[in-house]
């Protein structure tokens, strides 16, 4: 038996504690099946320990004044600059037209083990928060790791909503998007989006014959998609996967700061120009 599955069965194990475990491609099928077999307990163990953050939600960002070093961080900032409050109003995705912030904190204190930050916090068409988990093109994280993170942070977002809703989210949405209606008391169905450049998806789906390193085994897709469907049903999540395309240098340079001056892109930053939802599971 995969030692990872033994850990899944341990008392207190939740989606948030599985995120930091090693993530080999050869084990994706067995691990999806293991999560399905233990799903109820994993969900319960994730819902209970969500850190009760009640302040410093970081819903508003200033244009970053220095270039981040990590590739994923440059993508986060570039996407926020393209589709967030500094942008020109072009929609990110129909299910998530806007990006409110990046690196949204989940931890309340440093000792909240297993909890990190949501890569990007989006805005749905009816102005509710959306979890956006980002992977870089060369990431070694599998689609299962992406899904575990999406689910853990979706649960955390729902749990924190009573404290986040008002005045924090209400004020941020009004100031960024001029939306005046109060947010709903019940967050309802939460949208989760896993997004990556085409390179990541080509590797995961075996569409790049020159690089088999990220290819998810074909026999893993069926249990993975079953897991997506079952988590969606039990948690009232709407789970999607999307591709973000990069244009030539300057193609995505559409950000406008509040003072009307276009912020220059950092040298070497990705220039995201469009995003599309991809049908990852139909037909599998």
- Residue range 180-202: average pLDDT? 95
Q: pTM for this structure? A: 0.88
Model confidence band, residue 122 (pLDDT cutoffs 50, 70, 90): very high
Chain centroid, CA 2 distance in Å: 27
From 16, 25, 19, 9, select the one nearest 221 (Cα to Cα).
25
CA–CA separation, 204 and 23 (whole Å) = 13
Q: What is the pLDDT of residue 68?
A: 58
**pLDDT value at position 193?**
98
Q: What percent of the chain has pLDDT over 70?
A: 81
Q: Is the pLDDT of residue 267 over 90?
A: no
Conformational region of residue 163, where left means phi above 0, alpha means psi within -120 to 50, and beta covers everything else: alpha
Order the strands of the 190-196 sheet from edge to edge.
98-105, 117-123, 129-134, 190-196, 237-246, 272-278
Is the pLDDT at 255 greater than 50? The verdict is no
Band (99; pLDDT cuts 50, 70, 90): very high
Residue 4 confidence (pLDDT): 86
Quickly count: other Cβ atoms within 10 Å of residue 118's Cβ.
25
User: Residue 169, preceding bond cis, omega within 30 degrees?
Assistant: no
pLDDT band at 105 (very low <50, low <70, confident <90, very high): confident
Predicted local distance difference test score (pLDDT) of residue 261? 38
Mean pLDDT rounded to a whole number for the chain: 84
Q: What is the mean pLDDT of residues 185-211?
A: 92
What is residue 108's predicted lDDT score, i.e. its pLDDT?
A: 59
- Conformational region of residue 188, where left means phi above 0, alpha means psi within -120 to 50, and beta covers everything else: left
pLDDT higher than threshold 70 for residue 123: yes
- When pLDDT is cut at 50, 70 and 90, the band that residue 198 belongs to is very high
**Cα–Cα distance between 121 and 115 in angstroms, integer?**
15
Q: CA-to-CA distance for 154 and 148, rounded, in angstroms?
A: 10
Q: Which of 11-25, 53-67, 206-220 has the lowest mean pLDDT?
A: 53-67
Residue 212 has pLDDT above 70, yes or no: yes
Kindly give, in sequence order, each residue whose CB lies less than 8 Å from that of residue 54, ignoring residues fewer than 6 positions away: 108, 163
Residue 217 DSSP one-character state: P
Q: Which of 31-53 are b and which e, b meaning 16 or more Cβ less than 10 Å from the residue's Cβ?
A: bbbbbeeebebbbebbeebbbeb
For the ranges 70-84, 166-180, 195-209, the lowest mean pLDDT is seen at 70-84
pLDDT of residue 262: 39
Mean pLDDT in residue range 78-91: 83
């Amino acid at each position: 038996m995969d030692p990872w599955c033994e850990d899944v069965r341990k008392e207190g194990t939740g989606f948030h504690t599985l995120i930091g475990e090693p993530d080999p491609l050869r084990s994706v099928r067995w691990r999806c099946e293991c999560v399905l077999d233990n799903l109820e307990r994993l969900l319960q163990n994730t819902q209970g320990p969500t850190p009760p953050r009640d302040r410093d939600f970081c819903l508003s960002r200033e244009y970053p004044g220095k270039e981040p070093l990590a590739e994923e961080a440059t993508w986060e900032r570039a996407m926020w600059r393209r589709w967030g409050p500094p942008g020109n109003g072009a929609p990110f995705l129909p299910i998530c037209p806007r990006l409110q912030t990046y690196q949204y904190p989940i931890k309340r204190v440093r000792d909240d083990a297993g909890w990190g930050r949501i890569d990007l916090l989006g805005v749905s068409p009816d102005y509710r928060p959306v979890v956006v988990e980002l992977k870089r093109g060369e990431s070694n994280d599998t689609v299962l790791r992406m899904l575990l993170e999406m689910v853990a942070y979706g649960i955390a977002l729902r749990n924190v909503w009573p404290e986040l809703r008002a005045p924090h989210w209400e004020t941020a949405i009004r100031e960024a998007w001029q939306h005046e209606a109060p947010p709903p008391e019940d967050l309802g169905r939460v949208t989760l989006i896993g997004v990556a450049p085409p390179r990541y998806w080509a590797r995961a789906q075996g569409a790049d014959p020159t690089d088999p390193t990220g290819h998810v085994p074909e026999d893993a897709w069926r249990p993975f998609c079953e897991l997506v469907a079952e988590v969606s049903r039990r948690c009232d999540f709407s789970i999607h996967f999307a591709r973000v395309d990069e244009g030539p240098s300057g193609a995505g340079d559409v950000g406008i700061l509040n003072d009307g001056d276009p912020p220059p892109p950092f040298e070497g930053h990705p220039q995201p120009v469009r995003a599309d939802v991809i049908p990852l599971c139909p037909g599998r």
